[in-house]
Amino acid sequence: MRMQDRVLGRAFVAVAWAVFVGAAAVAMAAGLRVLLGLVLPTDLSFTAMLPAVVVAALAGGLGAGLVAAVLGGIVAQWAFVAPYFQLTVPTFKDVGNLVAYAILSVLVLWATGLYERARRRAEANAAAAARLVSVVTNSVDAIVGFDRNGMVEDWNTGAERLFGYAADEIVGRPASILFEDDEGRSGTRKLLAREPARFTTRGIAKDARRVEIAVTTGPVHLADGTWIGVAAIARDIGPEVAADRALREANRRNLALLSEGHQRMRDMLQMVCGLVQACGRAAESDPARGPIVALEQRIATVMRIHDQLHRAAEHGTVEIGATLRQLIGDMVGLAGRPVDMEIVGTSEVRLASDVALAVIFAVTELVTNALTHAGGQRPTVRVRCSREEGGLVVVVADDGQGLPAGFELGRARGLGLRLAESVVGRLGGTLRQLPQDAGAAFEIRVPVGA
């Protein structure tokens, strides 16, 4: 109801305004007609009301003009046609005057409507042009207009701030002075392209200061399609370029530090491996030498994992499937026996480097056990890596002789299984034995966010 009341109120105000404007215009026209009749003999009874129609239409709109036309006809018939001040049946002559007046009123209203629409359109165009000029003039970015010969024609305050030239100093001069000598022709050629273009270049300011700029250009055409020049927007990207260079330099230093750290870690592992080898050679019996040899093999495995992670790491993460394929392939090559190895990655899983190191170490321990205890002339070892229920799942299975009767993972005496279970547990994951008709199978499940 409130909306309806507001609409009715606005309509009432509009009608009242139209009636007021129309009546005022007719009253002024009638007064002028009386004054004119006192000076000159005239018979402009209805024609004298036409100015009232024009004034009312311009001041109050077509509605007010229509009111003025109707009221003007009534007043002219009543006050200026004999018998005066009486509304009688019009004569044939008066009917003709009324018809002519009505036709002229319609024409006047039509012409006034055309004029009003043209005026509003011109005002809208002028306002749009003023806004555009304000945007161009006051833009923070440099906005420059060039003619078809590459001469500067328009120059805003943003361009003055960027390059240091005032408008009267640069207008009429070639665009090539805004670029360094070795880039001037190339930059000008891109600048004057007849198709929209984007490029970065290095400009030179009035004080010889080098300016890194990003330029966006667009062709300027007349209404008939004639190409007359180019409008360009230039933006100072010096801070962005400096930040990018600093970032690249920081990345270079970080990579150098990472490589140095990797090399130091590898040197330390080699030293430890050498010490273990020396201990192995000093052992006096095979039972004493066995654990030392196993430890040496695990240190060598950690070295290979570390090398592979160093090569495969990208932004601190490792794609676990591809890395496992490479490392396990190397292990099979060193096994010294024919083995059928199947490595399947059902989906890409990226892990942080420290998590990947632990997972890969556990998987290599399980693969080592499979290669050692699978038996047979040519055993088959399968490794499957996938993402399931928000975690990483790795299954290592073989078709060998299987696990001994009564085997329990928690009571396993083998060093490999105990190491694998330990590192997986530190990640919040689990290592469990899977039931299988032939051979042995183990599953590693680690949260991806570990």
Q: What local confidence, expressed as pLDDT, does residue 97 receive? A: 67
Q: What local confidence, expressed as pLDDT, does residue 305 receive? A: 65
Instruction: Name residues of the chain where pLDDT drops below 50.
Output: 39-40, 92, 184, 450
CATH no. for 140-236: 3.30.450.20
Q: What local confidence, expressed as pLDDT, does residue 165 receive? A: 92
Q: For residue 235, how far is the Cα from the chain centroid?
A: 18
- What tens digit of pLDDT does each residue of 296-347 get? 666 776 676 666 666 655 556 777 777 777 777 766 665 556 667 777 765 6
Q: What local confidence, expressed as pLDDT, does residue 327 receive? A: 73
Q: What local confidence, expressed as pLDDT, does residue 166 receive? A: 92
DSSP letters, 20-81, are HHHHHHHHHHHHHHHHHHHHS----TTGGGHHHHHHHHHHH-HHHHHHHHHHHHHHHHHHSS
Q: At what angle do helices 50-60 and 2-39 cross, to 10 degrees?
A: 150
Q: What local confidence, expressed as pLDDT, does residue 447 receive? A: 86
Closest CA to 145 of 70, 76, 64, 234: 234
Q: What local confidence, expressed as pLDDT, does residue 374 receive? A: 67
Closest CA to 342 of 328, 330, 362, 331: 328
- Most distant CA pair in the chain: distance in Å? 150
Q: At what angle do helices 415-426 and 286-312 cross, to 10 degrees?
A: 40
CATH no. for 316-450: 3.30.565.10
Q: What local confidence, expressed as pLDDT, does residue 402 receive? A: 77
* 428 residue type, one letter: G
Answer yes or no: are the C-beta atoms of 56 and 114 closer than 8 Å: no
Indicate the pTM of the whole model. 0.46
DSSP letters, 199-263, are EEEEEE-TTS-EEEEEEEEEEEE-TT--EEEEEEEEEE-HHHHHHHHHHHHHHHHHHHHHHHHHH
Within 10 Å of residue 254's Cβ, how many Cβ atoms?
A: 10
Count Cα neighbours of 95 within 13 Å in the Cβ-side half-sphere.
4
What b/e string do you get for 123-154 counting C-beta neighbours within 10 Å, with b at 16 or more? eeeeeeeeeeeeebeeeebbbbbbbeebebeb
Category of 358 on φ-ψ map: left (φ > 0), alpha (ψ -120 to 50) or beta: alpha
- What tens digit of pLDDT does each residue of 367-391 get? 887 777 766 667 788 888 888 776 8
